[in-house]
Amino acid sequence: MRDRLIQLSCLALAIVALLGGGALLPRIVAVSDERGMRYTDVSVEGAPPIVALGTAIGTLRGIIVDYLWIKATWQKQAGLFHEAMADADLITKLQPRFGEVWAFHGHNMAYNISVLTNTPEERWSWVKAGIDLVRNKGIRYNPNDLILYKELAFWFAHKVDSYSDDAHLHYKRELAREWQMLLGTPPVPMDQRIAWIEAIKDAPDTLEEAEARTPGVKALVERLTSGLSGFDRRFQFALDRQFLMNHGRWAAVKESPYAKLLQLDERYKANDPVYAEFDRVFADPANEAALRTLVLFLRKKVLRDDYNMDPAVMWEFTRDAGPLDWRHPQAHAYYWATLGQKIAEKRSNTDDDVYKIVNNDRVSIQAMQAMARSGLVIYDPFSGDNPGRLTDPRWIKAIDRYFTTLYEKHYGTRGAGGDSFCDFYENFMSSAVCELYHIGDYEGAQAILDRLDRLFGRTGLIPNSKYESPLDTFVVNTTRGEYEYQPEFARRDVYGWLERGFREGLLLNRPKILEDAIRESRNLIEFFQGNRYYDFVNRFGEKRMADLVSDLRDSVRFVFQKVMLDASQPIYDRLTMYNKAPEEQRRLVYDDIKGPLAAEYAANPLSQMLPIERALPEPPGMDEFRAARAAEAAKKAEQPSGGRSSDAETK
């Protein structure tokens, strides 16, 4: 009887404890969320299968991880990078929630091991492997670790977009090519850019949903499956990233002026049966609607599965920040740094860890700065050229707004606080004055100069006369000496002069402005590419610094093309500029602009009065120009490196 009473008492006590624990659990979970004590917002979210390995080892796991971490650190210091990578890989399996080791592992591949290789292709494979590791695994398993977001963003900004690595031009070409094939060419006007990424955000999540939205999607997939079944040894058909890349290659061949010059469409259809089958299906007008829905579905799926990127967030950042072009490394730097703010910042919001937030915010605003200087990308994946990167003044206002947000956010932060961003803002806006001046936006440049004077000049905390100079004098004084420390400013000035020359010189019938712009651009390019500070040729045969600025012909082509396709400018004005331009310059851009301008012109009332052939006449000598351009492209294609796209994307 006594034993029975004891048992009943213990049972009652256990029930009371369980009920009490259940009542306390919601509060415990809430506190853990508030104080960032969990790895994810849902306890099972992001948990990889390899967690079971570490759990099985039990208490010995901590001792083993400590030993391996010390060993890996020593190996790295000793230059034993491959050995350190093996131990770091084991640590990630034993303790996947250890964010620092993912950063260590990725940095080791992207920086240390990559520079030990002998070709740009090998270097890029290691850089990409480091990026993929942290983006696709480290952040999935540690979604609230701010350091991982900041490190990943920094690698895009520094390793890929900076010019310190001998192979940086190859990295830029490869990244541009990859995202060109994945997403295609983004439209330039801001409203169209937002709608372009919104279409991916709103795409179907499943094949069944795609069929319900656009009947014919499943029939299209069945036709592709049947048509490609005979090539199993070469091409395993699946609705995956590789299929999307093949579609992107097909679309690029159809759009690319260089592909037309090299007759790639005919060559591929004759020599590549997989491409030929794709062409039969994709080019069929009956499949147009179903193909569009299928491609949008795949883009959404691939972004999530293969790149751990959320199209809804990509759309949100484009809508709220500026015209992100995913072919540009800094767009990815901005995405990951800003996503870290949204998701992981709460875990670092303490006095001891606030520096992590400040450093991450710096990467974010510096990415915006870089896109203001080079964010407008012009790229043909079959040209072998470096991507054309033009200034995009639309980011200037975005940075102005964002600076105010960061200043208020960090006003009370320990250390420099909000003032840590003031130097950045002052330097960038001084540069923005020069940029707007060079493209002829004198009113905008003067407005920024006046704002700088109010904040940092005569009415600033320490009054000075730095910003009271006349606008033209300020620009000359600011530009002088910049190139040695920030060589990308040379590209900014060349493109700025040329854009002003086309807009003012041609539209206002003042040819001397264009002549002066071309002369100044030629002088600057010759100075920059011939200066002993910049003509260093790296081990891969490219000028690491001088090639930041294209030669005069390519610079003219990039800028004139940008001006002609700028939908914010009335099409009548653009056609006027085209017809007033010298024949040589018209030949440079005619094949690139004819398609987009013809489509835009067709919706304009002018097309009812004047056919496009008369509004946009083909300049004389185009046959000879195309032949010379094709020969040049073929010569580049024969080179062992230089960013050529492969002839096949098949598996």
Range of 192-206, 259-273, 382-396, 560-574 with top mean pLDDT:
192-206
Write out the H or E segment, with its range, that includes residue 56.
helix 51-57
Average pLDDT over residues 565-590: 87
List, in sequence order, every beta strand (DSSP E) within 434-525. none
Choose among 106, 99, 150: nearest CA to 366. Answer: 150
Contacts of 650 (CB under 8 A, 6+ apart): 231, 234, 235, 242, 246, 272, 274
φ/ψ bin of 272: left (φ > 0), alpha (ψ from -120 to 50), beta (otherwise):
beta
Q: Please tell me the distance from the alpha carbon of residue 337 to that of residue 571, in angstroms, as a whole number.
A: 38
Lowest mean pLDDT among 16-30, 220-234, 394-408, 495-509: 16-30
Choose among 67, 131, 73: nearest CA to 103. Answer: 131
pLDDT at 43: 41
Average pLDDT over residues 582-589: 92
Q: Please tell me the distance from the alpha carbon of residue 635 to that of residue 522, in angstroms, as a whole number.
A: 25
Lowest mean pLDDT among 176-180, 466-470, 561-565, 569-573: 569-573
Q: Which residue has 């701010």 as its token pair?
A: 146
Q: Is the dihedral of CA 420, 422, 425, 430 positive or negative?
A: negative
Q: Please tell me the distance from the alpha carbon of residue 271 to that of residue 65, in angstroms, as a whole number.
A: 53
Q: What is the pTM of this model?
A: 0.76
Given a cut of 80, is residue 82 above it in pLDDT?
Answer: no
Lowest mean pLDDT among 312-326, 331-345, 552-566: 552-566
Contacts from 470-477 at CB under 8 Å and sequence distance 24+? 471/433, 471/437, 471/442, 471/445, 471/446, 472/437, 474/433, 474/449, 475/433, 475/434, 475/437, 475/438, 475/445
Confidence of residue 561 (pLDDT cuts 50, 70, 90): very high
Confidence of residue 40 (pLDDT cuts 50, 70, 90): very low
Angle at 412 between CA 411 and CA 416, to 5 degrees: 70
Q: What is the pLDDT of residues 372-420, one digit of tens each?
A: 988 888 888 987 778 878 788 899 989 988 988 888 888 777 766 667 7
Contacts of 592 (CB under 8 A, 6+ apart): 257, 557, 561
Angle at 241 between CA 237 and CA 247, to 5 degrees: 75
Please give the mean pLDDT across all residues of the chain: 82
pLDDT at 449: 92
Q: Write down how long the chain is.
A: 651
Contacts of 151 (CB under 8 A, 6+ apart): 103, 106, 107, 134
Contacts of 59 (CB under 8 A, 6+ apart): none
Range of 126-130, 534-538, 635-639, 645-649 with top mean pLDDT:
126-130
Structure tokens at 485: 């420390």
Lowest mean pLDDT among 35-49, 53-67, 300-314: 35-49
pLDDT at 48: 47
Structure tokens at 630: 């094709």
Lowest mean pLDDT among 2-11, 46-55, 191-200, 281-290: 46-55
pLDDT at 421: 82
Q: What is the pLDDT of residues 196-249, one digit of tens each?
A: 999 999 999 999 999 999 999 999 999 988 888 776 666 677 889 999 999 999
What is the helix, strand, coil percentage profile of the chain, to 5? 70, 0, 30
* CB burial of residue 455 (10 Å; 0-12, 13-18, 19+): middle
pLDDT at 159: 95
Choose among 306, 236, 326: nearest CA to 274. Answer: 236
Q: Which residue has 């920030």 as its token pair?
A: 486
Given a cut of 50, is residue 651 above it in pLDDT?
Answer: no
Q: Residues of 33-68 as b/e, b for ≥16 C-beta within 10 angstroms?
A: eeebeebbeeeeebbeeebeebeeeeeeeeeebeeb
Confidence of residue 156 (pLDDT cuts 50, 70, 90): very high
Q: What is the pLDDT of residues 384-393, one digit of tens each?
A: 778 878 788 8
Instruction: Compute the radius of gyration of the chain from its Cα atoms.
Output: 28
Q: Which residue has 């250890």 as its token pair?
A: 98
Average pLDDT over residues 131-148: 92
Contact between residue 387 and residue 327 where contact means Cβ atoms under 8 Å apart:
yes
pLDDT at 28: 56
